[in-house]
Amino acid sequence: MEGILGNHVRVPTDDQILGPFYPVMKPIARVADLTSVNGKNGKAQGQVIYLMGQVFNLNGRLIPDVEVEIWQANSFGRYTHPSDSNTAPIDPNFEGYGIQKTDAEGRYRFKTIKPKGYPVPIGWTRPPHIHFCVTSKTNRLITQLYFEGEPLNEEDLFFKNAINKGSITTKLVPPIEEMESDSLMAVWDITLGQL
């Protein structure tokens, strides 16, 4: 079963703003493990999460060779970006950026940490979220992933204005056997608006 919902077309994942902190300096290597920095011995601070899923088109077909980029704040709520004026600490063992391509079955997988929310200058606090840029041969989606049950979700202007909040929200659940016992897992499938 390739994610086809009967004879119905899949609902596309909502788009969201790019945000001001898209990485200026990206690692040269394709990184899927954001919990460490190449050349450093330390580990990123915070709750480790395994983030995985598959990328589909509107007909429910899996899309291979899709570029999936993520970027996010650290466990203190700060981005590794020169324009982030947040006074929260920078984690020297967390660059906050990863990139990979989906495999033949449209799968992607990252190991990262759960980001913390952070204040924005116009007077509210963003909930924890992870930015995504998903690029296929015919389409590009900019979106953000939110975590179910976060109290700040409903106060967030971008989340509140989403057309289909369920398409940009995931649960954090206990890990499977191959993962660290104190980690969490998030499974989130992405549907691009293409046939």
What is the end-to-end Cα distance of the chain in Å, rounded?
17
Report the mean per-residue pLDDT for the chain: 93
Q: Is 170 contained in some domain?
A: yes
Candidates 78, 108, 129, 146; catalytic one: 129
3-state class of 51 per DSSP?
strand
pLDDT digits (tens, 9 = 90+) for 96-141: 999 999 999 999 999 999 999 999 988 889 999 999 999 999 999 9
Domain count, the chain: 1
| Domain hosting residue 181, numbered range | 48-191
Query: Which single residue is written with the structure tokens 């919902």?
Result: 5
Quote the tokens at residue 100. 């990979």
**Residue 74 is part of a domain; what is its CATH number?**
2.60.130.10
In this prediction, residue 63 carries a pLDDT of 97
Question: Is 0.85 topped by the overall pTM?
Answer: yes
Q: Is 146 designated active site? A: no
Q: Is 81 designated active site? A: no
Candidates 50, 79, 108, 146; catalytic one: 79
pLDDT digits (tens, 9 = 90+) for 47-104: 999 999 999 999 999 999 999 999 999 999 999 999 999 999 999 999 999 999 999 9
pLDDT digits (tens, 9 = 90+) for 132-191: 999 999 999 999 999 999 999 999 999 999 999 999 999 999 999 999 999 999 999 999
